[in-house]
Structure 1
Amino acid sequence: MTNPIHPEAEALLRPRARLITAPDTRAETLRALAAEATGLIVRAQLPDDILDHAPHLRGIVRHGVGLDFVPIPAATARGIPVANLPGSNTQAVAEHVFAALFHLRRKLASLDAILRDRGWIAAKPLASDLDEVGGSTLGILGTGEIGRRVAGIAKAGFGMRVLGHSRSNRNLDGLIEPVDRETLFSESDAVVVACPLNDATRGLVDARLIRRMRGRAVLINVARGPIVEAAALAEALMAGRIAGAALDVFEIQPLPGDHPLLACPNLLLTPHVAGTSATSLRVMGRGAAEEMLRILAGAPPRNLVNPEALANLSRRTGRAERGEPAVR
């Protein structure tokens, strides 16, 4: 396991496997531990060549949803099934989006700090210039499960107009008005980035799109760091051309202490925790354990993301070493 998982999940696995948790997530550490692993439960970025160092591997389970942590083409070529856990942290991420939106819009932390430092009279007038969330326009880039959950809360809870853009613009459940990217950025009061990271979305939110945003608009990224060009966002924030942003993900993680984003005003930074809560960790942990147990038993996982690997699954299972498997 690249990181610890929920105790209930470990309890499910322990009768069937020797559990080893990596002491850190450096590439060399993960390569070394993969040498004897029968299964991998993944919460951190795997090195691209991890499978070259894992001759006994039967399967990989992503503790979560995003698949950019796993070298799926290499796993498929080797007949190694990969599973993830769709929907396991959708509510947690959606709640984080609105927590960030209220932080940026209603500025409660700033009001609290000013009241404590400078007093009631200094703090109270600041609320007069704050925009309400209700009735404003929310743009969602990426209308998958998370995007649709955010849209449902926005529309039913706050009466927001919801715009959305994705490759297909299907399955929008009547909640989302499909628009092109340019319209989404130019007409939204808040833009939420919730699309997967791939070749098409890397650097997608660039200076050109950010320049289309309204002066009082905010940007929230709960997807992956490389989707948003950090330099372009920092420049817009420093120049005051947008009202604020909230980033939970970054191109380099952990975020270096001298990163330019740390100097930006009106920017909420969190350490990739949008999908993390006590509830979601339990759900993801148990889900990952159950999928891994299926794989170790020679059965396909329920949420198989590379079905092409099934053709080789039986052959690989038959070759696997007998005895107590090691899940790492």
Structure 2
Amino acid sequence: MAARPLVLLTNPIDARQAERLALHADLQLASATDADTLRREARNAAFIVVRAPLPPALFDEAPVLRAVVRHGAGLDMIPVDAASRRGVAVANVPGANAGSVAEYVLGQMLALARRLPQIDAALRTHGWDTARQLADHGADLSGRTVTIVGMGAIGQALARICGAGFGMRVIGVRRHPPADDARVQYLALADALPLSDYLVLACPLSSQTRGLIGAEALARLKPGARLVNVARGPVVVESALVEAVRSGHLAGAALDVFDTQPLPLDSPLRSLPQVLLSPHLAGITPGSMQRMSEVVVDQLLEMLQGRLPLHFVNPEAQEAILARWSHLSAS
């Protein structure tokens, strides 16, 4: 009897979807997510479900690996070029948590606008009157301008909420703006920044977006603007952001992602009450985890039948991938 294929999980997935997958394959949860452990434990894996960064060398040391599937949309955790060179398919799950991330952004925008964390702290520490006085420095979202950098599934979901739900002016920044989106005004980033009350970063991390929001970009924002980052930490130059908040040019920020994760204990961001911090959880709710896991498992089951995944992200390597799969099936 042929051995069942092994699926390595870098992190847990939804329990019901894990049970569904376990009917067809053996599952192994990685004992740790450092590079050496993942390289070692991937050696017998046919598939990897990715929620932690994979080292490029892993693909040279995993002789039976057929595919890796990102439990989410962003591909920065997967060295796609290294996978393609070895004939390993790469898939992801675009859009499954877009609504969850958009709701997180909206919640943080409201918290920043109304200064809710500071009011909560003042009420607990200083009393009713002191807390109420902070309302004088709050703001409505209605009538304000939000610029969204990255108009994929998350950006589109947020644009709908901000425009239709809160009466905000929505500006979108993307490389190839659509010609027929009446809800969103598309501008170049340099032109959008001076108009922005809120700057939301929801773009992939790439060579074009790394360091995109540095001192120059922050200076172009109107005084008192606020920033929300649900993209990746390196899209923002953290030292420039800290200085912009300290100087008062930025009224506040909400950050779910950072240059270094976990956020170091000595990070200056921790000392800024105007900055709301969360540990890369914008897209994590029980519902979104279930949706992402379901699409991951759907694609794994397809590949177990020899079919390419629905959200196949390295089609340029298709010939090499199919050749590798054929060789592994014959051996």
TM-score (norm 2): 0.94
Cα deviation, residue 139, structure 1: 0.6
2:154 is equivalent to residue 146 of structure 1: yes
Change (3 A) 1:35 1:164: same
Report the secondary structure of 1:147's partner residue: helix
Is the Cα–Cα contact under 8 Å of residues 134 and 158 in structure 1 kept in the other structure? yes
- 1:30 is aligned to 38
- 1:252 is aligned to 260
Is the Cα–Cα contact under 8 Å of residues 143 and 172 in structure 1 kept in the other structure? no
For residue 165 of structure 2, the aligned residue among 157, 162, 165 is 157
Match for 2:235: what amino acid? I
For residues 120 and 262 of structure 1, the distance between their equivalents in structure 2, rounded to whole angstroms, comes to 26
- 2:288 is aligned to 280
Cα deviation, residue 127, structure 1: 0.7
For residue 59 of structure 1, the aligned residue among 59, 62, 67 is 67
Aligned residues: CA RMSD: 1.5
Is the Cα–Cα contact under 8 Å of residues 56 and 321 in structure 1 kept in the other structure? no
Change (3 A) 1:83 1:171: farther
For residue 314 of structure 1, the aligned residue among 298, 302, 322 is 322
For residues 93 and 147 of structure 2, the distance between their equivalents in structure 1, rounded to whole angstroms, comes to 26
- 2:107 is aligned to 99
Equivalent pairs counted in the alignment come to 323
For residues 263 and 56 of structure 1, the distance between their equivalents in structure 2, rounded to whole angstroms, comes to 48
Q: Structure 1 vs Structure 2: percent identity of aligned residues? A: 43
Report the secondary structure of 1:243's partner residue: strand
Instruction: Tell me which stretches of 4 or more aligned residues in structure 1 moved more than 6 Å.
Output: none
Cα deviation, residue 260, structure 1: 2.1
Structure 1: tracts of 5 or more residues without a match: 324-328
For residues 115 and 322 of structure 1, the distance between their equivalents in structure 2, rounded to whole angstroms, comes to 69
Is the Cα–Cα contact under 8 Å of residues 222 and 247 in structure 1 kept in the other structure? yes
For residues 208 and 181 of structure 2, the distance between their equivalents in structure 1, rounded to whole angstroms, comes to 25
For residues 250 and 120 of structure 1, the distance between their equivalents in structure 2, rounded to whole angstroms, comes to 35
TM-score (norm 1): 0.95
For residue 309 of structure 2, the aligned residue among 286, 289, 301 is 301
For residue 140 of structure 2, the aligned residue among 129, 132, 142 is 132
For residues 28 and 230 of structure 2, the distance between their equivalents in structure 1, rounded to whole angstroms, comes to 30
Is the Cα–Cα contact under 8 Å of residues 30 and 38 in structure 2 kept in the other structure? yes
- 2:77 is aligned to 69
2:200 is equivalent to residue 192 of structure 1: yes
For residue 184 of structure 2, the aligned residue among 172, 176, 181 is 176
2:223 is equivalent to residue 215 of structure 1: yes
Is the Cα–Cα contact under 8 Å of residues 238 and 265 in structure 1 kept in the other structure? no
Structure 2: tracts of 5 or more residues without a match: 1-8
- 2:52 is aligned to 44
For residues 261 and 70 of structure 1, the distance between their equivalents in structure 2, rounded to whole angstroms, comes to 28
- 1:326 is aligned to none
For residues 115 and 206 of structure 2, the distance between their equivalents in structure 1, rounded to whole angstroms, comes to 34
